[in-house]
Chain A
Amino acid sequence: SQPLAGGQAAELQSKVVPSKQIIHSDNMEMEPETMETKSVTDYFSKLHMGSLVYSCTSKRKNK
């Protein structure tokens, strides 16, 4: 499926352009990469956090 393909045969390089005067091909502007993200809160459910905080504070009280 080529939604954008259209008359590619007609798109041979234009002979009008004197390439010697142009450096256009090295300033193509690319879109940014996308990186996959992880977060410590992905795995640290609130419950887990709560129990950790609880166990730490209760241990401190027992001292």
Chain B
Amino acid sequence: LSRCRMEASCLELALEGERLCKAGDCRAGVSFFEAAVQVGTEDLRTLSAIYSQLGNAYFYLHEYAKALEYHHHDLTLARTIGDLLGEAKASGNLGNTLKVLGNFEEAIVCCQRHMDISRELNDKVGEARALYNLGNVYHSKGKNVANAGTHDPGELPDDVKNALQKAAKYYEENLSIVTELGDRAAQGRAFGNLGNTHYLLGNFRSAVLAHEQRLLIAKEFGDRSAERRAYSNLGNAYIFLGEFETAAEYYRRTLQLARQLKDRAVEAQACYSLGNTYTLLQDYEKAIDYHLKHLVIAQELHDKIGEGRACWSLGNAYTALGNHDQAIHFAGRHLEISREVGDRSGELTARLNLSDLQMVLGLSYSTNNSMMAESQAVENSLNGGRPRGRRYSMENMELMKLTPEKVPNWN
């Protein structure tokens, strides 16, 4: 291949890669970009653009190690040719990728570099985008540490709180710039993530205000996915404000949109949230109805963990209604599934539920001595301040002890 034919074919392949990625076919786009790299080019700016797009394509395909590799090549190249804007962009992309990989400290350095260069170049758009990325990194960092323990929003260790407060600060700085620029789409994104940050910080009223703004902008754009996200997040915030009726209303809208958008996983989540909300409202028939809907979809999607949660919730709701046969059935299913997925904590919870139910039903549990002994041991250790590690299907749940005051129709 002569040099000019090589250059032309590299360019053609890259342009086809760009076209395919824009059309949403990243997998095919990647093939063309990789072919373009194979052919090669002496134009380092072209090569930088190819690396950058390969990095983004792999990012959208959730192949983060490859995304990291290509964004790193892009950064090296941009520095080599002294392309400051190119370096800023590569740093931002590298930062986002490192964030997803959980490497928060390096992600912060990269996003900071994106911001510093943007400011140096007086690039307001770039600066705003870097601030949004920084907010996202600190939000992830906070959430990541928070998830290591199990606690509700608002009950946070200091390091988590610091990270989340930084995230809120960056989102607000981003908002002030994008408002000035009149970029409504960017405002929508910032409001959504700011709302979630306030939610984790336990500022539920502020969370509602931010998500209401997000909802408004989603409707402006006719963006139904964003609208659905806002409803779901509003529902979550109202739960923790203790306004369960309002939460139920938002979750119903979430469900309606999930069905319109034909997203089964999201539909399942909405049913689950509704089931929990009706449990809080002590409307157990409705709770059961939604948990059963959730169960059907979880089975359809082969989501074992979701199925386990559904059975656990159904067991509790049937217990509350005094329907012990159904309660035993679902507690048994919960036990089986917990064993299947290796969820030790779920398994122990299920054992306790079953033994409680059996006691209620006056069954002889002498045959179940070993189970009872084990359950008793678990109970003691749970009440004795068991270390709270990450739990799987029973995340953020504590043992629901069945006591007469919780179950009105106990006898």
Cβ of A16 under 8 Å from chain B: yes
**In the complex, which residues of chain A have a beta carbon less than 8 angstroms from the beta carbon of B49?**
38-40, 42-43
Cβ of B141 under 8 Å from chain A: no
**In the complex, which residues of chain A have a beta carbon less than 8 angstroms from the beta carbon of B398?**
19-20
Closest CB in chain B relative to A34 CB, distance in Å: 6
Task: Determine whether the beta carbon of B89 is less than 8 Å from that of A38.
Answer: yes
**In the complex, which residues of chain B have a beta carbon less than 8 angstroms from the beta carbon of A7?**
205
Cβ of B59 under 8 Å from chain A: yes
Task: Determine whether the beta carbon of B15 is less than 8 Å from that of A34.
Answer: no
Query: A25 to B391, alpha carbons, bound, how many Å?
Result: 14
Cβ of B242 under 8 Å from chain A: yes
The total number of A-B Cβ pairs within 8 Å is: 178
Q: Bin the interface of chain B by size.
A: 35 or more
Name A's interface SS.
loop
Interface centre among A2, A18, A29 (most CB of B within 10 A): A29
Give the contacting residue for A31; candidates B2, B172, B193, B228; CB below 8 A.
B193
In this complex, how many residues of chain A approach chain B with their Cβ under 8 Å: the count is 48
Per-residue CB contact flags for chain B residues 87-105 toward chain A (1 = under 8 Å, else 0) read 0111011001000000000
Q: List 24 A-B contacts (CB under 8 A).
A: A8-B205, A11-B154, A13-B240, A20-B400, A21-B279, A21-B316, A21-B397, A22-B239, A22-B276, A23-B396, A24-B276, A29-B232, A31-B226, A32-B189, A33-B136, A35-B56, A36-B52, A36-B114, A36-B129, A38-B86, A41-B18, A42-B49, A52-B8, A59-B2
Q: Identify the B interface with A (CB < 8 A).
A: 2, 4-5, 7-8, 11, 14-15, 18, 43, 45-46, 48-50, 52-53, 56, 59, 74, 86, 88-90, 92-93, 96, 114, 126, 129, 132-133, 136, 139, 147, 152-155, 172, 175-176, 188-190, 192-194, 196, 198-200, 202-206, 209-210, 226, 228-229, 232-233, 236, 239-242, 269, 273, 276, 279-280, 309, 313, 316, 395-400
